[in-house]
Structure 1
């Protein structure tokens, strides 16, 4: 079965998270992805654990399915020559080396587009190819701090906090997929490739969305609101008889319905709470009143009531609860894959549900250099030539 991107070949020179996450998505969509590492393996996440399964780290396994693996020493002329052969036959190259590294190896966009003018060349760095920070290394944690994300995450009690996953890497990977697919579409019209300059810093700032707009319009610095929303009330966690739940009342109509369901209809007409802007101004007074009511029943009791009447709410699930949720099963968000050394592994499925060209899970995350000989044979190299490269430490 063809995928949406069948026929597209991607050379993946990236490692860790942002780049491998983006190329996994391209592979899920049908692209042929060739993961290029240094001999012995150079993706740091292979060693990031525990947990491991048969020597394979859970971290590496989460972003590297649907790829073939090739080892190549790009610091040698022979290694660069092999990569250039692949470039001539590829549609996309993606890397996340530090600024200037690929140019130093004569593998920058200006070098490679001479070999393949249709090449789409995606560079992922911490701060991009321009600006005073361009030479700095980019780590998600640092980017979360510098971009302002940490300044709006947490509470006055906790102080600034990072998001629980490397969210700027994930967002940059998604932006890379968007940019690459847009460039592929444009290439169908122009016949030409182009260079993409992706920065974790830029992606993180773009994710500030309404909070950034609030500041740019008002000039007021946002406060640490914890689990509260800066623009909508009540839109937060609330304690219940047996734990906590999240309530997300998005408009005045929903608030009136909420007041009726909890037998507090007078609150809907209270001048402190009648409209959202008034509720934002009196958020803490309203939160105290609602908390006293919600403590009278369990989270499940409130959720049953609110779900029946269209009031958005939900439990705060842990990982076990998430992956035992029937909705997760119905959406096929966990899939089994057979791995050559680890046996059957379970990985998070794709959220992309295409009707005619569905996502396919064709290959497990590859071992280091698992497909080196296969890829080189497709280039026309014979067994003797491959063995010679191995002896020189090129592969």
Structure 2
């Protein structure tokens, strides 16, 4: 690294937010890692996203890239900076070391052996900066018989058991409509990083945080997994119905559909009264929770028949007044038009240089002393911050030009 008479930190923009004192180096790609990092970026941390330089071998054409889905890319990589860096070259690794000396977090989701082969594993980087929290997301774990397998969300959904309990009985396994293994692995990784940063305040040392798509997916099975681990019962598909409570599920109305969650005997009585069928409370096979589970088809048919006479809106108002949990089933457009969603501000407006006025998906948490007032910054163009970041590290314009010519940055 070259000398610089000024303190590079003085050149950095002033950042706001509860995590503004942290710098995160993001060497991840696709979805799980960027999901973890997005939390830090939205909460004010400086996030430097590492990308392969244009023209360098091994360019990224994976799903989630800028050209694959611009909306997805903007939503996933907002509030970040972009540095192009070829970490397969010794000069690129040297630049990474310069970054790591100043960083708090480094996150990657390579296959487990790749980081060690490149010389950027946790031991190597924490030798440079012992306070560094190094985070890894893999498909199946950092070791074990499947460690070398490539990890993708749908594969983790299948191997993690989710597809076996999703969908209607007898129709075969079903993937859920979002990349839930990717997303949950990212959220669990973020929690692990925050935990390690808290622990660092006491110990002064960083550590290696690990999670995987498979582990995250299994953790999200929750009560379904507990049924097997504790009771020895293998859960099966139950479609839109709840496997343990009846009636809980989707029912047709006169003009659409309604979700109802009549859990327990008290809710069952309230539902029957609101539906004007109070006799069902004591109907044979419906008088208790266990009976209704055993006779779910009979119970659901009776409830469905009662619901057909009114609209979804009418039933929603009526059931909520009776104290029965329920709600309409929205399309995505209806979600963001909903009065409560608009009140919560889950559509985060921003001004995009090319797309104009758009909105991104907001963070589902609120901090009283850090209200979300400023609009997010658009996702960076590839390498858009390279010159600025290298100058902060002390590299001259001439040296940066040389590194570009050699496809190092």
Partner of 1:42: 60
Cα distance, 1:307 vs structure 2: 1.8
Task: Give the match's secondary structure for 2:76.
Answer: coil
Partner of 1:244: 257
- What CA distance in whole angstroms lies between the structure 2 residues aligned with 1:24 and 1:363? 12
Partner of 1:365: 379
| Most deviating of 198-207 and 265-274 | 265-274
What do the CA deviations read for 1:261-297 (whole angstroms, capped 9, x no partner)?
A: 1222222233522322222121111001111111111
Give the TM-score, by structure 2 length: 0.92
Partner of 1:298: 311
- Give the gaps of 5 or more residues in structure 2: 1-14
What do the CA deviations read for 1:322-372 (whole angstroms, capped 9, x no partner)?
A: 111121211111122223333333211111211012345442111101111
Q: Does 1:29 align with 2:48?
A: no
| Most deviating of 221-230 and 88-97 | 221-230
- What CA distance in whole angstroms lies between the structure 2 residues aligned with 1:93 and 1:321? 38
In the TM superposition, 1:1-395 aligns within 5 A as 2-40=16-54, 42=60, 44=62, 45-47=64-66, 49=68, 57-270=70-283, 272-359=285-372, 361-395=375-409
C-alpha contact 2:105 2:132 (8 A) present in aligned 1: yes
Q: Which runs of 4+ in 1 moved over 4 A?
A: 359-362
| Most deviating of 350-359 and 312-321 | 350-359
- Give the gaps of 5 or more residues in structure 1: none
| C-alpha RMSD of matched pairs (Å) | 1.5
- What CA distance in whole angstroms lies between the structure 2 residues aligned with 1:344 and 1:217? 52
Query: What is the number of residues matched between the two proteins?
Result: 389
C-alpha contact 1:249 1:255 (8 A) present in aligned 2: yes
What do the CA deviations read for 1:142-183 (whole angstroms, capped 9, x no partner)?
A: 111111100000012532110101010010111011000000
Cα distance, 1:256 vs structure 2: 0.9
- What CA distance in whole angstroms lies between the structure 1 residues aligned with 2:388 and 2:356? 22
What do the CA deviations read for 1:213-235 (whole angstroms, capped 9, x no partner)?
A: 11222222222110011111111
C-alpha contact 1:65 1:361 (8 A) present in aligned 2: no
- What CA distance in whole angstroms lies between the structure 2 residues aligned with 1:123 and 1:95? 5
- What CA distance in whole angstroms lies between the structure 1 residues aligned with 2:41 and 2:166? 33
Note closer, same or farther for the CA distance 1:173–1:43 as it changes in structure 2 (3 Å cut): farther
Cα distance, 1:313 vs structure 2: 0.8
C-alpha contact 2:112 2:143 (8 A) present in aligned 1: no
Task: Give the match's secondary structure for 1:160.
Answer: coil
- What CA distance in whole angstroms lies between the structure 1 residues aligned with 2:106 and 2:80? 14
C-alpha contact 1:66 1:361 (8 A) present in aligned 2: no
- What CA distance in whole angstroms lies between the structure 2 residues aligned with 1:308 and 1:188? 50
Task: Give the match's secondary structure for 1:302.
Answer: helix
